[in-house]
Structure 1
Amino acid sequence: MHNEVLVIGATGKTGRRVADRLKARGVPVREATRRSAIPFDWEDPDTWGEALSDIDAAYVAYSPDLAVPSAQGVIRDFVAAAEKAGLRRIVLLSERNEARAQACEKLLMESSLEWTILRPSWFMQNFSEGGFLDSVMSGEVSAPDSGAPEPWVDLEDVADVAVAALLEDGHKGEIYEITGPELLTWPQAVARIAKASGLDVRYRTITPAKFESTLVEAGFPAQDASFVASLVAEILDGKNASTADGLQRAIGRSPRNFAEFARDAQARGCWT
């Protein structure tokens, strides 16, 4: 038997998968969103206390992003609130090779809490349920990449590590860099999607400025579009062009590859 686990961001891409896995194991889940029964809002610290009450472990996905300049102050206050509430264990979703995200990690590492950090690479699911789904369906995917390959990761693997760290001993103080098993350029990744889906979809590299204007056209506020465009270009500058063994160290199995993800996404009707 396990105590109730708090999942912050329970309707997000990772949070939803973590919550579903916990429920499948019979673990009670307190889903924390702005609209949940016990609401949680990162912008309203008054909501944090009730969400953290009588909770032993929590999965934390910060929105909008740990790289946002204001994130450090929010995470500092949240860690203090978690300590005050008596939380014991936190699993934090972070990012690979992102200095601002790692500054947020440090705040958790310096606390009295038992912590595990997840640093996944670029999500495969960004093509099937994220920001690039519409691009896939339109026939052209474009991003401000450097031409360097990426070790795309399947979110099912990330969720498996998160659940293990929440429920099992042996993950305290671990930083897990979680990637797929292979390096693929953006054109190669999109080609695998085209093959699995049967869609005529191609890839085109664009400048950060063009990517920003594309986001504005899609409805992003100008300031948000500027930040997202610069962040994506920074993430895709080649510094993450290597695989890591976080999944293997955490749960002892190999990660899924991109072709497996694409076949499964097509079977679920993601690109229909």
Structure 2
Amino acid sequence: MKSKNNILVIGGTGKTGRKVAQKLIELGHNVRIGSRLATPSFNWDNSENWTEAMQGIDNIYITFQPDLAVPGALDAIEELTKKAKSCNVKKLVLLSGKGEREAELCEQVIIHSGLDYTIVRASWFNQNFNESFLLEPILEGFVALPKAEVKTPFVDTDDIADVAVEALLHDKHNSKTYQLTGSKAITFKEAIEAIAKASNRNIIFTPIDLSTYIENLKQQGIPSDFVWLIEYLFSEVLGNPNNSKITNDIELVLGRKPIEFTDYTKETVKTGVWNPKKQIIIN
């Protein structure tokens, strides 16, 4: 019987981390959740407990909040890597962003750490439509977004988690960088139309320029660091034509096709998350 690993999942309650943790637990591995409320706790803003959280750990899945592109992320990844080496951690699997230049600097820290590693670069998550900043406007039935004409191959967090688990458990993924996308690139308008169809609702999509969108976020009282990140993602990441390119890395690693966006909408609508209090039914 194959020996079980001791794995720290940093961000173990987040979009991908909670799924990675659950899949590893189901496979019988020893999982330590890296979060502020865990014991020992893990807080990106306080490195004092990082060593304690990494004691006895073989491999680490790393997700940085809110994103590797934000100021301070590089310093944090450098410190984490040093502490991981001092704790005799064997392998790091880093969740990165596809097309994020700042995130690639963090990747280089991992790559040159001397530890085994896998880099998992992901396109925009499907789950941003039901677990993040896009949920509220969908519930309101009115979505206004910039870069309306840009096509994005949205990727599902279930696919990301499955790839991360494979990378954590198998040496054949060492020193590899995987770029994860869905099998089809669609616009935000097309994504909202798919959600409206699946939920049998009338959801209006309106293009908006980036400066107006950012100003609206500020007026809503959205935290400044999140506003910065959204502006960066829409201007630098979505504006990068390479990010519309589709890869076959999910199929390469998992031996199956990525989850289709329409299948994501069909499954998500079953949870009721897109049902407003007064639902508008399309005749």
TM range (shorter): over 0.9
Deviation of 1:146 (Å):
5.4
Q: Residue by residue, what CA displacement relative to the aligned partner does 1:180-209 show, whole Å, maximum 9, x if unpaired?
A: 001111111111000001121122222222
Residue 100 of structure 1 aligns with an amino acid whose one-letter code is: E
Percent identical residues: 36
Any conservation in 1 of the 2:68–2:96 contact (CA below 8 Å)?
A: yes
Deviation at 1:268, TM superposition (A): 2.0
- Worse-matched range after superposition: 229-238 or 143-152: 229-238
Q: 2:150 aligns with which of 148, 151, 155?
A: 148
**Is the CA contact (8 Å cut-off) linking 2:99 and 2:240 kept in structure 1?**
no
After superposition, residues 235-250 of structure 1 pair within 5 angstroms as: 235-239=237-241, 240-250=243-253
CA pair 131-249 structure 1, distance change in 2 beyond 3 A: same
Question: Given residue 54 of structure 1, which amino acid in structure 2 is its aligned partner?
Answer: G
Which range is displaced more, 238-247 or 213-222? 213-222
1:259 aligns with 2:250: no
Question: Quick one: which amino acid aligns to residue 20 of structure 2?
Answer: V
List runs of 5+ in structure 2 lacking aligned partners: 276-283
Q: Greater CA deviation, 170-179 or 211-220?
A: 211-220
The two structures have a TM-score, normalised by structure 2, of 0.92
Superposition CA RMSD, Å: 1.4
* 1:115 pairs with 2:117: yes
Kept after mapping to 2: 8 A contact 1:144/1:233: no
Rounded to whole Å, the distance in 2 between the matches of 1:122 and 1:227 is 13
Amino acid at match of 1:57: N
Number of the residue aligned with 2:95: 93
Check whether the contact 1:7–1:19 (CA below 8 A) recurs between aligned residues. Answer: yes
Q: Confirm or deny: 8 A CA contact 1:149 1:183 kept in the other structure.
A: yes
Partner-residue secondary structure (3-state), 2:97: coil
SS of 1:170's equivalent in the other structure is helix
SS in 1 for 2:45: coil
Residue 150 of structure 1 deviates from its aligned partner by: 0.6
Q: What displacement does 1:143 show?
A: 2.1
Partner of 2:37: 35
| SS, match of residue 249 in structure 1 | helix
Letter in 1 for 2:270: A
SS in 2 for 1:111: coil
Give secondary structure in 2 for the equivalent of 1:94.
strand
- What letter matches 1:147 in structure 2? E
- Paired residue secondary structure (1:13): coil
User: Partners of 1:12 and 1:36 in 2: how far apart?
Assistant: 13
Aligned residues: 272
Structure 1 stretches lacking a partner, 5+ long: none
Q: Deviations over 1:27-56 (max 9, x none)?
A: 221001011111011111111100111000
Aligned ranges 1:48-197 → 2 under 5 Å:
48-145=50-147, 147-197=149-199
Shift of 1:224: 4.2
Which range is displaced more, 205-214 or 148-157? Answer: 205-214
Indicate if the aligned counterparts of 2:251 and 2:257 stay in contact, CA closer than 8 A.
yes
1:230 Cα deviation after fit: 3.1
After superposition, what is the alpha-carbon deviation per residue over 1:220-262, rounded to whole angstroms, capped at 9, x for unaligned? 2345424432333322214211111111121211101111000
Structure 1 residue identity aligned to 2:264: F
Distance (Å, rounded) in 2 between the aligned partners of 1:65 and 1:120: 12
Change (3 A) 1:115 1:210: same
Task: Determine if contact 1:146/1:236 at 8 Å carries over to the other structure.
Answer: no
Change (3 A) 1:245 1:216: same
Taking the aligned partners of 1:222 and 1:146, their CA distance within structure 2 comes to 23
Partner of 1:20: 22
Q: In structure 2, how many angstroms separate the alpha carbons of the residues matched to 1:246 and 1:236?
A: 20
Q: Is the 8 A contact 2:148 2:187 kept in 1?
A: no
**Contact 1:146/1:238 (CA < 8 Å) preserved in 2?**
no
Q: Is the 8 A contact 2:148 2:189 kept in 1?
A: no
